[in-house]
Structure 1
Amino acid sequence: MARLLLIAGDFVEDYEIMVPFQALQAMGHTVDAVCPDKREGDRIRTAIHDFEGDQTYTEKPGHDFILNATFSEVSAADYDGLVIPGGRAPEYLRLDERVLEAVRHFFEHEKPVAAICHGAQLLAAAISLSGFRVSAYPACAPEVSLAGGDYAQIEVDQAITSGKLVTAPAWPAHPAWLARFNELL
């Protein structure tokens, strides 16, 4: 089974870290969840984003998530794949060159990457998306396009595979997104 790196930060979307972290382990994979400037055993705060008929999602406090690895002690080269959850964390994680270097590693070495929702913000900041069809939360469509990607407007419960990249618009896509990612692994 694969060894996976999951990069997150405070106010990551609750379902988009909890579900993949647990489901990928249930599939037999090892998942190391890290956050820049935090250590194994530290907590990150999460937010629950819900779709309740408003013009955008609503946000509520989520659960605390306990990291099981230390960002400064891991090397992307030791991992078979990368998981990028959404929420608000990608907005500021994309400003951290160490995070961008880690993301680039997976693309440079053609390793599978799964990004959901606002995770596309990290992709767009780290690499050219030229040649990739990428789904994301619709508010991220301009960033995908500006990074050269072909934004895929798909149903909220669907996912798309483009090369070694699997993306989806939001957490209702977990069954499709995780199944496609597992196929690549």
Structure 2
Amino acid sequence: MKKFFVFAATLIITASLFYGYTNNPVEKKKVLIHIVSDIKKNDGPPCVAVDVALTNLELGNQVEVLFDADAAWNIKKSDDGKNDYDRYEVPADLKKLVDDQLKSPDVLKLKNFGEFLQLLHKKGAKITINGTWNVLTSVEKDLKGKTKMPDYVQSLNLKELVTSINNSDVYYRY
């Protein structure tokens, strides 16, 4: 009888551990997508970056898209209120490929990459930019300036930028 009790207890403990292990919710990863490439000079990296951002959001991860260096220029609004991403059309074949894989019909409605960034923001991505770069290049007058930035873009100072990169679980650079 004692052997049966030990066997039953061992079985229950093992089953409990296995059940707890297999039913733990997957922890969301903090994903940082660092875009440094100018979309006007090389459109491949930024195009892949937004696809990877959307895919990570669909997988339930926390996503930040950080514009830095040459890519920061692409977010600057011109006198007409548009930036380079607003002027860059999302190719129909790319929209179809992304929708086929992610079943995200919102992608099919996108006209340009500015709308793609807005979709990412709407789905929960944090869109940020190196504020120090913006001041250094006279895009803005102060680190948190937003006179030339879309509303959904948050300007980061150096400590915020480095903290964001250092605290990411997954880092992509495009």
**What's the TM-score bracket when you normalise by the shorter of the two chains?**
0.3 to 0.5
Q: Which has the higher helix share?
A: 2
Which of the pair has more CA radius of gyration?
2
Using the size of structure 1 for normalisation, the TM-score is: 0.35
Q: Which has the higher strand share?
A: 1
